[in-house]
Amino acid sequence: MEVINNSKTFFYISKAVAWQVEQTNKYVYIVDLSNQQQYKFNDIAGDIWKMISNKNLCLKYIKEISLIYDAEIKQIQEDVDCFVNQLLELNLIKTYK
């Protein structure tokens, strides 16, 4: 499944997922309850996950991350698309419009 990033694409966390942010806010820990697979995200991946949990627009992630990490929007767009596609393939997140 490939994501089309546009101003109307939203994501939400699957109901089969439990997660928490470490107190230092450095890591996000995720467990897929359907298969007990565990994940640990940091840096940009953790930031994207937290933005998804807040139900922000996908386009907003890219702008915010480019500002936080002082990176080109085009590169951030490619990285976010890749990561979001991985999350969708793993059924950790879903889309809605």
What pLDDT is stored for residue 62 in this prediction?
82
pLDDT given at position 26: 85
Predicted confidence at residue 30, as pLDDT, reads: 97
Task: Report whether pLDDT(2) > 70.
Answer: no
The rounded distance, in Å, linking the Cα atoms of 56 and 52 is 6
Q: Which residues contact 76 (CB under 8 A, 6 or more apart)?
A: 62, 65, 66, 69
Look up residue 19 and give its two tokens.
């997660």
pLDDT exceeds cutoff 70 at 51:
yes
Q: How many CB atoms lie within 10 A of CB 84?
A: 21
For 9-40, the pLDDT digits (tens) are 788 999 999 999 998 878 999 999 999 999 99
Mean pLDDT of 39-47: 91
